[in-house]
């Protein structure tokens, strides 16, 4: 369990150690144009750059995807999400165990786990709540404490303690986009949320981006043209990416189920849906995939 900021730092440090100066910040991509022998990537207020290939890892609002396919419809999932980071000293000792915990209910659930940053320990949490209200699609939109407490009114004291202990709460709407007919065209390709944004109910968004990247490395280092390599990447990754995304969406009906609001049914429902066998059925086919060997 790793804080995203720390994951970025680890990756950046590793890249800088083998290829110093390869990361250039402050460049906002606004599009690209292909030429006979390369691809020109354009930036807002910066000179364009020529490259052999362009990999659009630019998230749900991808400019690379927009250039490839135009506007792609976003679909609100009738759910909003909350997230926060709580210094561990604000949490009662009995709730500081180094383990992931998920609280489930008929219309909401919340998952928490410990992380570290700059030598300090925190509890990170993410909660999803059924909602017909259309929210902004952003991971950095501040939310109000009283709104979050209202969404989890009557929940366990650990949930209330986490929500109340966060310095900043973020709130955003959960959206998914229509599946694309391809992830590669010419010398350009998409990875991660740019091509398969998904809800967090299986916790696979970042993992799928890593898988994409591994397969891209495999095909781009093989003895073939850029265009052929990216077409191979598309053929190897698109079906799996969307299969995981659909499975993640299906989990909403598991997390938010009417039986969880019935005192006589809730325990048996949890025992059935989170039994060791059921969890293996849910995850084994995902985590047994070895991206390092795909496309080799």
User: Which residues span the domain enclosing 163?
Assistant: 88-175
Within-domain flag for 38: no
d(CA 175, CA 76): 5
pLDDT in tens, 180-230: 999 999 999 999 999 999 999 999 999 999 999 999 999 999 999 999 999
55 near 212, Cβ under 8 Å?
no
The active-site residue, picked from 113, 170, 201, 233, is: 113
d(CA 131, CA 137): 14
Predicted model pTM:
0.92
Task: Give yes or no for residue 139 having a pLDDT over 70.
Answer: no
Within-domain flag for 124: yes
Within-domain flag for 186: no
Residue (of 68, 67, 53, 59) closest to 219 by Cα position = 53
Measured between its terminal Cα atoms, the distance across the chain in Å is 29
Question: Is 233 annotated in the active site?
Answer: no
Within-domain flag for 14: no
Q: Give φ, ψ of 130 to 5 degrees.
A: -60, 135
**Would you state the structure tokens that stand for residue 67, as one six-digit string?**
């250039």
Within-domain flag for 128: yes
CA-based angle 79:80:84, to the nearest 5? 145
Within-domain flag for 73: no
Task: Give yes or no for residue 130 having a pLDDT over 70.
Answer: yes
Estimate to the nearest angstrom the gap between the alpha carbon of 217 and the chain centroid.
21
Looking at the structure of the chain, the number of domains it has is 1
């Amino acid at each position: 369990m790793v804080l995203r900021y720390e994951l970025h730092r680890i990756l950046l440090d590793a890249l800088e150690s083998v290829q110093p100066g390869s990361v250039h910040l402050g460049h906002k991509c606004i599009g690209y144009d292909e030429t006979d022998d390369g691809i020109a990537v354009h930036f807002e207020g910066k000179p364009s750059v020529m490259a052999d290939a362009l990999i659009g890892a630019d998230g749900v609002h991808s400019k690379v995807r927009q250039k490839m396919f135009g506007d792609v419809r976003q679909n609100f999932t009738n759910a909003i999400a909350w997230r926060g980071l709580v210094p561990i000293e604000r949490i009662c000792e009995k709730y500081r165990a180094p383990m992931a915990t998920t609280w489930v209910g008929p219309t909401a659930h919340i998952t928490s786990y410990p992380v570290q940053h700059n030598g300090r320990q925190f509890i990170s949490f993410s909660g999803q709540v059924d909602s017909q209200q259309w929210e902004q699609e952003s991971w950095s939109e501040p939310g109000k404490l009283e709104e979050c407490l209202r969404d989890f009114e009557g929940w366990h004291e650990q949930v209330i303690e986490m929500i109340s202990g966060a310095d900043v709460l973020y709130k955003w709407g959960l959206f998914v986009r229509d599946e694309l007919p391809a992830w590669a065209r010419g010398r350009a390709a998409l990875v991660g949320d740019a091509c398969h944004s998904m809800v967090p109910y299986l916790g696979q968004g970042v993992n799928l981006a890593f898988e994409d990247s591994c397969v891209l490395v495999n095909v781009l280092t093989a003895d073939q043209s850029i265009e052929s390599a990216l077409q191979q990447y598309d053929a190897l990754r698109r079906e799996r990416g969307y299969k995981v995304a659909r499975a993640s969406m299906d989990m909403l009906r598991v997390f938010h189920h009417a039986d969880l609001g019935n005192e006589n049914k809730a325990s048996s429902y949890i025992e059935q849906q989170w039994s060791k066998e059921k969890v293996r059925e849910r995850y084994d086919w995902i985590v047994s995939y070895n991206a390092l060997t795909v496309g080799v």
